[in-house]
Chain A
Amino acid sequence: MSAKIRYEDVEPGTELPAQSFPVSRATLVQYAGASGDFNPIHWNEKFAKEVGLPDVIAHGMFTMAAAIRVVTDWVGDPAAVVEYGVRFTKPVVVPNDETGALVEVSAKVAAKLDDEARTVRVDLTAMSAGQKVLGMSRAVVALA
């Protein structure tokens, strides 16, 4: 493991570079194939509406995978992530149009946890269409 961010160089409140992730129907079909999650609520509008959803929604696990990129791109080595958890609070609704949806992720260092293990807690915020789509979204990251 070789993180490129030094423990000494961060403080509670240090912001990570924010990123936005576009999500289209094609993204969801590709994710379904790669992950093996073929639940029709993620690709079949008729089915999604029949079960009470406003439209096709993104896989929660896709949003979780996108959000952690803010941390792994910052720290360089993905193995620096020693813990990662989220709550799925609202679905990311993906309309069948040119733009699809956008997941906007910001993150900041919330606490320095262990001076010896050089671990910090990073709190993430993921928004789509003005709604918080992940709650309790936290990662523990081992820095250099």
Chain B
Amino acid sequence: MALDQSFVGRTYPPTAPYEVGREKIREFAEAVGDANPAYTDPEAAKALGHPDVIAPPTFVFAITFKAAGVVIEDPQLGLDYSRVVHGDQKFAYNRPVRAGDRLTVTSTIEAIKSLAGNDILDIRGEVHDEAGEHVVTAFTKLVARAAEGE
């Protein structure tokens, strides 16, 4: 069943702050095999002009996708998550995420489309730091494949 178009533009309340730790960044950088010292060595990060170690570009997805759970699990929207695949992902950065950040995410439904029985949902996650400054925006496109027999 097609998703309700009236949800387009709906914004959900901001999440509780996520505190970015140096060791979590290190764990992520190691998991993607990325030895860039800006991720693990505060001195190397400072030499590049950053106040502390920074996170790899896609690190923030773990935070924004968890935040998108309020949309995905919204019973009123009724998305069938068992049929969902990740279609597109994009990030627009104002600055890199860094250790010590306390980040909140505000999720908004940007678009709902129906294409050949598939529901396509665009979610925008605005990430702000504790001072209220914009850090990065994550654009996530989810595709709920058509159920059999529809």
Taking Cβ atoms with an 8 Å cutoff, the residues of A that contact B are 1-2, 21, 27, 30-31, 33-37, 60-62, 64-66, 68-69, 72-73, 76-79, 81-88, 136
Count of chain A to chain B residue pairs whose CB atoms are closer than 8 Å in the complex: 100
**CB-defined contacts of A78 to chain B, threshold 8 Å:** 36, 38-39, 54, 56-57, 96
**CB-defined contacts of A36 to chain B, threshold 8 Å:** 62, 66
Beyond A30-B31, A65-B56, whether A136 also contacts B93 by CB under 8 A is no
Asked if B48 CB lies within 8 Å of chain A CBs, one says yes
The minimal Cβ–Cβ distance linking B66 to chain A, given in whole angstroms, is 7
Q: Using A1-B48, A87-B88 as known contacts, list a sample of 19 further A-B pairs with CB atoms less than 8 Å apart, ordered by residue number in A.
A: A1-B49, A2-B48, A30-B30, A36-B62, A60-B86, A60-B89, A61-B58, A62-B32, A64-B58, A69-B32, A69-B36, A72-B57, A77-B48, A78-B38, A82-B93, A84-B90, A85-B139, A88-B87, A136-B88
Contact B86 A35, beta carbon cutoff 8 Å: no
The minimal Cβ–Cβ distance linking A73 to chain B, given in whole angstroms, is 7
Beyond A83-B90, A83-B92, whether A68 also contacts B62 by CB under 8 A is no
Beyond A31-B31, A61-B89, whether A77 also contacts B62 by CB under 8 A is no
**CB-defined contacts of B88 to chain A, threshold 8 Å:** 85-88, 136
Asked if B7 CB lies within 8 Å of chain A CBs, one says no
Contact A79 B54, beta carbon cutoff 8 Å: yes
Determine chain B's interface SS by DSSP, over half rule.
mixed
> Interface residue count for B (Cβ, 8 Å)?
33
Bound-complex Cα distance A69 to B33 (A): 9
The minimal Cβ–Cβ distance linking A79 to chain B, given in whole angstroms, is 4
Per-residue CB contact flags for chain B residues 36-71 toward chain A (1 = under 8 Å, else 0) read 101100000000111000101110011001100000
Contact B34 A69, beta carbon cutoff 8 Å: yes
Name the CB-closest residue of B to A62. Answer: B32
**Listed A/B pairs (27) with beta-carbon separation below 8 Å:** A1-B48, A21-B33, A33-B27, A34-B27, A34-B31, A35-B28, A35-B31, A61-B58, A61-B89, A64-B58, A65-B32, A65-B56, A66-B33, A69-B32, A72-B56, A73-B36, A77-B38, A78-B39, A78-B54, A78-B96, A79-B50, A82-B92, A83-B93, A84-B91, A84-B93, A85-B91, A86-B90
